Structure 1
Amino acid sequence: MEHQLVVVNANKEKCKLKVNQRDVDVAFTINQLRQEDKDQDQHKAYLDRMVHRFNLKTQRVQRSQSGPCIFKLFGNLGKIYEGDYQRPHVVSLGPYHHGNEYLVDFDDKKWYFLKQVLLKKNVESGEGLSSFLKDVSLLEDSIRGCYASYGDVASLGSYDFLEMMLLDGVFIVELLRFLGKSQKGVDKYDDPFFVTPLMVPLMVADLLKLENQLPFFVLEALFTCSKTSEHGMDLLPLINEAINLVFPLRTFVAYSPKHLLELVYRSLMPESYTTCTDHRKQNKHMSNQTIQCVTELRRSGIKLMARQSSGILDIEFKNGLLEIPTININDFTMNLITNCLAWEQCCIDAFTYITDYIYFLNCLINGPRDVALLCGDGIIVRHSRDDASVVSFFNSLGKNILVFNPKTSYLSRDMREIDTYYSSSWATLMRTLSSHNSSSFHSSMPSLMS
């Protein structure tokens, strides 16, 4: 059986050919094989692309031994911590806020600090820059792996990324050197555009924002390669001296933190802290619990006192006395607490001390009267904040805590003992007497006024 086949030649002319069934079958088979080859090529291209993405993603996780440690706050976390406590005010450090218009003016000043380092090292600019860049470039993969928001890191090519790390790292090291060796703040500094006394808290606060962190090993590397004979102090004591200008801290324990924020965070821990696992063993039978606000605790006979301690987390309840270290409520403290809380909520292997602390204070503070009582006891010291704003601060953080387990809280035993005391017959009697005295006072007011 013959068929007529129409084909188009190179000149786009149609030609009619007579072919038999066998020729048709062969042509069909050839076309089918070509289509299969095309499908295989397309499948291979998809597979190659997926393998490439797989390698990128897995290499990124492996770049940092412990995984990402510098987080960008997205979704609900971003809404909770957005604003003054999330974004830097003066200087951007690292990729997350790099190039932001309102911070870009300060970027030019970072070159000044790099120049000062090269002058102190007494090396030519080209030679010195080459040495610094070499040290940082050896760490590039590890540095990139520290940032959880890969898109912000991937958008920067190798040259731009290394330049940013060098400028930001040298700036931090030089700022710490200046603040750490200055016994009287910034009064003696003669540079016209550097730091005024009013800027110090703002700049130190920027150093301690979660989204504004550099890996600590970058600071260590740049500190070492920029050190001269006139630099006598090691890095950890230098940081301790610098931060203490605006916030009192315990002396840092020698260990390798992930970044500056974690270093300061660790120094806030209670003097006799244990791990979350230890708490879980101690409180495995404990149910979820809360405690009454300050006003109610006072009515039950519980006394509150400001505790003399070098750390704000050293809370203790014993024999009806609740001792809480004094906390100064100002912009810097609120920034530090908020970013430490964000760090705990983002990092899967972090402790939960700040989370526990915020939860505890959120229970104690229901309204302005509770804040007033805490101020009267010397536990809260307010600076340019009224009682209502203090309530709002702790309540907004407390109600939005995403990860909290009272069974592993370092304050679980204190909370249980406070609740037991509050529920005791003695405390119930005290509340009854308090209510009776209050009612008697109000009922006697008309007769006293007549």
Structure 2
Amino acid sequence: MRYLLRLLGSRTPENAEQAEELVPQVHQAILLEDLEGAMTELEKKTRQCYAGAFDIDSNDFVQMMVIDGCFKNVDDPIFTIRWMLRTLQRDLLKLENQLPFFVLKKLFELISLAEDPTLIDLILTFFDPLMPRKNIKGNLNPEGEFDHMLEVFRSTFLSSVNQDITSGCEKLKISVNAPLVQERQLIHSVTELEEAGVKLKKREYCDLLDINFQAGVLKIPSLYIDDNTAVLFLNFVAYEQCEDTKPFFTNYLMFFDSLINSSADVRILHKNGIINHVLGSDQDVADLFNKLGREVVYDLDECYLSQPIKRVNNYCKTYYASKWRVWFTNFKHDYFSYPWTFFSLLAAIALLLLTTAQTYYTVYGYYIPS
């Protein structure tokens, strides 16, 4: 209620800095009636957005929409404490905390002034620090239809993703008789890919989801992981799981879940500039992706990454079809991965050569005495 009163007070022609003391009560009542009237008109549409029926009468429901939808900062301590602000950003993006976007949009139209930024601009500016990117506003259609703020922010990651994920391309097929592990293993792990000769490279100047594979090189945009990453991904995936929307982040998450099986996989991705993180260890990153991927329902036919995944798998299949390549890969992994194994190999070779030379000269001296 305090924030609602501050918001109403700040929209008066009086001194906005002392709005609560100076604003005439009659002006607040008129503006509040306008908000209540707008929410009354949208009540039926708003109730239909929720999964279950509300045991709340019309007046209380309208009041809830007005109070929940109005939020105004007037030098409040919550906006001056960094950790609290970050917590607020994450909290406002949780799927269970969303208000229908048309509710926020209508309230904003009634309250905003001509010089105010747009609602979309406010949302993107506020949430951008959770995963900073260049030109975030240019990635979004300001006239688009959105369900809520979570979808607004999610949509800023989709500008370069092919929206038609099945048109003109073959779908990724997995045998219905395949065991569960193989069924969920979309792609080989990073370690296995390197052993098969696949090169990993950071893809520059691309959106997060824009993954590509060509000529033996898997290019993946850089991903920065901190405490916000898990919260964002969980809510993006939760939204995709419960709504009839294309599962881009579900596909992306399952891709990384298959790609990362151990800390060694994370270490290789970090070495190639693909993953940077501030978590405790590389193993923590591996655990994060493996936990996020648990019990996620996904349809491979709807995977926007089906083409690059298929190309990678075919490349690996061709590579492993050659026994000599497999032997050489294993040899290189066993003896050239670490300096001490390499030097041990050199010592063994030198010992073998010396032993061979000694045997040769012994036999040579026996048959051809001096």
TM-score calculated relative to the size of structure 2: 0.78
- Tell me the residue number matched to 2:227: 331
Write the distance in 2 (CA, Å) between the matches of 1:195 and 1:319.
Answer: 50
The yes-or-no answer on 1:414 pairing with 2:308 is: yes
Give the C-alpha shift of residue 299 in structure 1: 1.3
Asked if 1:360 corresponds to 2:263, the answer is: no
Task: State yes or no: 1:144 paired with 2:39.
Answer: no
Shift of 1:270: 5.2
Aligned with 1:167 (options 67, 75, 79): 67
Equivalent pair of 1:356/1:411 in contact (CA under 8 Å): yes
In structure 1, the residue matched to 2:277 is 382
What does 1:88-127 align with in structure 2 at a 5 Å threshold?
109-119=2-12, 124-127=27-30
Structure-2 residue corresponding to 1:84? none
SS in 2 for 1:268: coil
Is 1:216 the counterpart of 2:101? The answer is: yes
**Rg comparison, structure with higher value:** 1
The 8 Å contact of residues 158 and 209 in structure 2, kept in 1 or not, is answered as yes
Query: What's the offset of the Cα at 1:160?
Result: 2.5
**What is the rounded CA distance, in whole Å, between the counterparts of 1:204 and 1:145 in structure 2?**
26
Matched residue type, 1:168: D
Aligned to 2:202, the other structure's residue is in SS state strand
Q: Which amino acid aligns with 1:216?
A: F
1:301 aligns with 2:301: no
* CA distance in 1 between partners of 2:59 and 2:155 (Å): 34
Which whole-Å deviations, capped at 9, do the CAs of 1:394-444 have from their partners, x for residues lacking one?
112223112x12222110110110011111248855543231134345485
Give the superposition deviation at 1:195: 4.2
Tell me, yes or no, if the aligned pair for 1:312 and 1:327 is still in contact at 8 Å: yes
Alignment CA distance shift 1:226-1:342 (3 Å): same
CA distance in 2, matches of 1:200, 1:193: 6
- Describe the shift of the 1:291–1:270 C-alpha distance in structure 2 as closer, same or farther (beyond 3 A): farther
Give the share of equivalent positions with the same residue, in percent.
30
1:310 offset after TM fit, Å?
Answer: 4.5
Label 1:316 to 1:223 Cα distance change in 2 as closer, same or farther (>3 A): same
Query: Do 2:201 and 2:219's aligned partners in 1 also have CA atoms closer than 8 Å?
Result: yes
Query: Does structure 1 residue 262 correspond to structure 2 residue 151?
Result: yes
- Please give the secondary structure, in 2, of the residue aligned with 1:149: coil
Q: Which of 289, 303, 306 in structure 2 is aligned with 1:394?
A: 289
Can you list the C-alpha shifts for 1:277-320, whole angstroms capped at 9, x where unaligned? Answer: x35x6335833562210011011111111112352101111111
Q: Cα offset for 1:127?
A: 1.7
Specify the alignment match of 1:344 in structure 2.
Answer: 240
After superposition, the Cα gap between the structure-2 partners of 1:268 and 1:443, relative to the gap in structure 1 and judged at 3 Å, is closer
Contact 2:93/2:149, CA 8 A, preserved across alignment: yes
- Residue 446 of structure 1 deviates from its aligned partner by 8.7
Residues 192 and 417 (structure 1), Cα distance of their counterparts in 2 relative to 1, 3 Å cut: closer
